[in-house]
Every structure is written in C-alpha cells, then in structure tokens.
Amino acid sequence: MMKKYSTMAFALFFAFGAWSQKVVTAPLLTGENVAVTPTEAGKVRGYIHNGIYTYKGIPYAQAQRFQPPVKVKPWEGVRSSLTYGPVSPLINPTTQVMDESEFLFHHDWGYPNEDCLRLNVWTQGLNDGKKRPVMVWLHGGGYTAGSSQELPSYDGESISKKGDVVLVSINHRLNILGFLDLSEYGEKYKASANVSVLDMIAALQWVKANIVHFGGDPNNVTILGQSGGGGKVTLLMSAPSAKGLFHKAVVQSGIWANYGEQQVTRRVGAAVLKELGILPSQVDSIQKVPYEKLAAAGQRALKKVEDQLKAEGKPVPGFGFGLGWGPTIDVTLPYHPSDARALALSSDIPLIIGSTKNEFMNSLRNPALRKASAEEIKAYIQKQYSDKADAYIAAVKKAYPNDTRPNDLIDIDGFFRPGMVAQAIAKSSSSTAPVYSYLFAWQSPVMDGAYKAVHCMEIPFTMNNIARCEEMTGGGKEAYVLADKMSQAWINFARTGNPNHKGLPVWHNYSESNGATLIFDNQCVEKYNHDKEVLALMAQPGR
C-alpha cells in the first residue's frame, strides 16, 4: 500500500512540477523591449508565443489607388506589430453565413482599408546568423476576396516551430482595386491592370531586403498558396520582374488558365469610367470615388462588357462564372502561364502541385445527394454522362477502389485536378527542376463525413495546424499523424527542394509518362496515372 501511495505522490509531484515549469517559462512574452528587430523602414516590435517570434501587420509597401506600390515611408522609433493589418475591401462584404459550413471554415474576415499592403512573420530567431528557409504564403479567395488571416489554418506559428522555418503571409489589393485596367489613360496607370501582382512582387522584395533580420535566408524562399493563392504562385512564376525573388513553389488547388486580354480589360476600364460619369481627361478623379460606389460601378461595367461580348459572338473569360477581376496580359505579365516563355522563366524552380480529391463536390452543392441511394446516384450520373455513364462509374471505381458511399462516385473533383495535371505536364516537360504531384484524399469525419476532402481541407495538414482547425478536421489522432507527414514534406521541400522523408513512401518526380502522384491519406501511397480514365471522361464534351 505504501508503495502505491509513493508512486501516486511521485506522479502528482511530477505533474505539479511540469505545471509550475510551464507557468514560470510563460508561453506569451510581450513588452516594450520584447521581439524588437530592424527593417529598412524602421524597427518593429512583435511578441513571443511558444518560443516563436510573431509579427503582424508590418507595412511592406504603400500605394495610391491603381498605381504601383512604392517603398514605405520610414517611421521613427519602434512600430508596434502585434495584430493583423487591414484587409483589402471586398465587393460583397460578408453580412450572413451558412451556419454549418461556417463552423467548419471558421473565417476571420478582418477589417477593410485600401491601405492594406501588410505582412506577417513567424520565426524562431532574430539576427542570429541562421539561414532559415523562408515560406511566403499567398491566401485564397480567387483574385477578389480573402486575406492572410481569413482561415485559422493560415497561422504560421506551428510550422515555424516544427520546421525552424520563417513563415511570411501577406495582404494585397484585390478585385477592382488590384485589376482595373486604366492603361489607356496615362503613364501613371500603365500597370494598373496588374497592381495586385506588383503588390506581391513588392512583398517578395521586402522579404529579400529584410528577412535576414528575422533569421531567414533571402536566397532560399518558397512561395506557396492554395486556390486563388495557388493561382498567384503560378502568375509569379510567369512574371519576369519576380524572377530571382523566390526559389521553389507550391501550388495547392490552383487554377491553370490563360489571363485576360487588354482588348477586353480596357473595355471594362472605359465602361467603369462611363458608369462613374468620369471623362478620360478627368481620370484622376477616380482616386476620390468612395470604394462602395467604385465597386458597384465595376460590377455594372463587367456585366455590360460581358453582354457586349456575347452579342458579338465572342468568348467570355471567367471559367463559366462570367467576366470578373483577375490578371491581364500586359507589361507586368507579358505571357500566359502555358506560354513557353513563361515556363522558361521558372524552369529552374522545383514545384509541388496538387489538389484535393473532392474540392467543390456535388453532394455539398446539392444537399439532396448527401444521402442518395445507389440507384439515385446512378440516375444522376446517367443524366450527366448519358451513354458514357457505365464507363464513368467503372473508371471511378478503378481509380478509387476503396470508396464505399454511393455519392463518392459523383464527388470526384473535375474542376481543379485536370488543370493541376496539365500544369504538371507542362512544367515537367520544360523544366530542369523536379515536379512533385499529389492528391489529398483524406476524408474528414466532421458532420458525419459529409465534407470529405473538400476545398481547403489540406491546408491544416500542410501547415501543421490540426489543433487550430478541429472544426474542419475533427482533431483526431489520424489527422495529427497525417499532418506530421505532410507538413514535414512541405518543410523539407522548402529547405532542400525535395519533399521526401522517411515517414512517406518514395515520392518520385512527376512526368507525363509516369503520372507519379502521391496520395495523401491514412495510408499514403504513390500511384501512377491512377485517374487518367476518369479525367478523360470528364473532359469529353456533351457528357
């Protein structure tokens, strides 16, 4: 009995010691002289949490409306950088949400201001001579929405702590503020169609000039992003003025498509001026138009130009969603991403590229399909594929033989995956650097498994943020195990350009012939052209 009580007492003493040690070491450190480091524009002060120096809302550039960014005006003293900076204003501010999906994504919308060129930094050390790999995160939301704080999975503390990397995330101008083409109306506006892209390049220039103060290596920078952020990674790979500012790239569920043409975007610019009653000779007055009025005029102009294109029998850009804001071929982006000259610009850049298995799945867009029977799902497929329905079903079962739910047949992504494969083929065929392809197939248990491997589901895993994203991942053991494997692959890639590690099967370089794709799931496996037949059927017209 005495031995039992002694063991218990020892355990209690050990637990109290661990608790008291935690209190003494203090997970959060703040103060006037805590986490202070210089930048080109002046000193900044952050805070320390779990051993990670954290800075939020640092200005990396400043800009007048529709004009290129310039260096920040230096400040005196120490600038407090403890909270996220302003986000780019949105055309349609969020005023209501869907309860269930908002529980899952847990957005932080931030506060809007056109002066939004801000970045955030997480690092283990300051001015210590260490050359830590730098990872620059580009947020999703297409080219019209989103911010560096929008999702909890974007937080950089965990991956910085695990991999001893410097994580940087940025805000930049979006929608009409980032992409209104006024290039016909004077030298100061000649780059207006892509000032959003110039913002991103300015952020990378800030990293090159300042990241050494945050313990980072300016000669080992990886750009990475998901959805719209993945598209931004691709456009930076296509931008001559971004050459040399980054050394590796990760495209997660990005869009692989041509950019706008100025014969269209200039028409939109002219239509916006007309909507606002501004004469070309008075173009500078657009600077003073309130954002809400500007945004509304922009939406009307887009619709009018779209209607004109249709009446003229011309194609409407926008992936079937209508004419919208996005990058344009101009002085900043002279090439489409598939152009051989664009591919040549990034031929020495190693790339990880992939998407999730389910992305924008049919059973979420149509809730009636969540619990549909096998017969109902087959009828749905027959409407979509007609006489190719049986071939489609057979191809899906061949690609994913372990699927069991009837709606698994219709929830395979056909929007992002084809473009990711096309980009992987183009890049691997023209590059001296390796390409690594992946598919995230892990199925979330949240909401009885209804959300599967939905769009954005992989981000908590690549950023090692399961604890911050329990609403999305469930926070179970399997999620932590997979996150450890995925985040380590991303860390290794940022460090060396090779994501392989002993926790994964060998991840081979992708080529068109081998179709080598690492499937991230509870059991990670590499497969070869596993879904080639499915993608071919999805691509057939009239299906």
Q: What is the mean pLDDT of the chain?
A: 94
Domain containing 73 — which CATH number?
Answer: 3.40.50.1820
* pLDDT tier, 317 (very low <50, low <70, confident <90, very high otherwise): confident
Catalytic residue from among 455, 458, 487, 530? 455
* 86 shares a domain with 48: yes
> What letter represents residue 156's amino acid?
G
* 303 shares a domain with 439: no
Residue with tokens 């954005």: 456
* 268 shares a domain with 198: no
pTM of the model: 0.94
Contacts of 330 (CB under 8 A, 6+ apart): 181, 183, 191, 193, 194, 262
347, part of any domain:
no
Q: Is the pLDDT of residue 4 over 50?
A: no
* 245 shares a domain with 293: no
329, part of any domain:
no
Relative to beta strand 166-170, strand 118-123 is: antiparallel
What per-residue confidence (pLDDT) applies to 148?
A: 98
Dump pLDDT digits (tens) for 295-315: 999 999 999 999 999 999 998
Full DSSP string of 467-529: GGGHHHH---HHHHHHHHHHHHHHHHHHHHS----TTS---PPP-TTT-EEEEESSS-EEEES
Q: Is 342 exposed, middle or buried (0-12, 13-18, 19+ CB in 10 A)?
A: buried
* 422 shares a domain with 305: no
* pLDDT tier, 2 (very low <50, low <70, confident <90, very high otherwise): very low
What per-residue confidence (pLDDT) applies to 449?
A: 96
* 302 shares a domain with 209: no
312 is catalytic: no
* 175 shares a domain with 95: yes
Q: Is the pLDDT of residue 13 over 60?
A: no
* 169 shares a domain with 101: yes
335, part of any domain:
no
What per-residue confidence (pLDDT) applies to 543?
A: 60
What per-residue confidence (pLDDT) applies to 26?
A: 55
Domain count for the chain:
3
* pLDDT tier, 321 (very low <50, low <70, confident <90, very high otherwise): confident
189, part of any domain:
yes
What per-residue confidence (pLDDT) applies to 540?
A: 81
Catalytic residue from among 139, 359, 431, 437? 359
* 244 shares a domain with 105: yes
* 482 shares a domain with 388: yes
Q: In this structure, is the dihedral angle defined by the CA atoms of residues 23, 26, 30 and 31, taken in order, positive or negative?
A: positive
Catalytic residue from among 227, 253, 437, 444? 227
Measured distance CA(104)–CA(419) in Å, rounded? 26
* 274 shares a domain with 165: no
Q: Is the pLDDT of residue 20 over 60?
A: no
Dump pLDDT digits (tens) for 137-186: 999 999 999 999 999 999 999 999 999 999 999 999 999 999 999 999 99
Q: Is the pLDDT of residue 102 over 60?
A: yes
408, part of any domain:
yes
455 is catalytic: yes
Dump pLDDT digits (tens) for 233-267: 999 999 999 999 999 999 999 999 999 999 999 99
Domain span at residue 102? 30-252
Residue 177's DSSP bridge partners are none
* 301 shares a domain with 187: no
336 is catalytic: no
206, part of any domain:
yes
What per-residue confidence (pLDDT) applies to 94?
A: 87
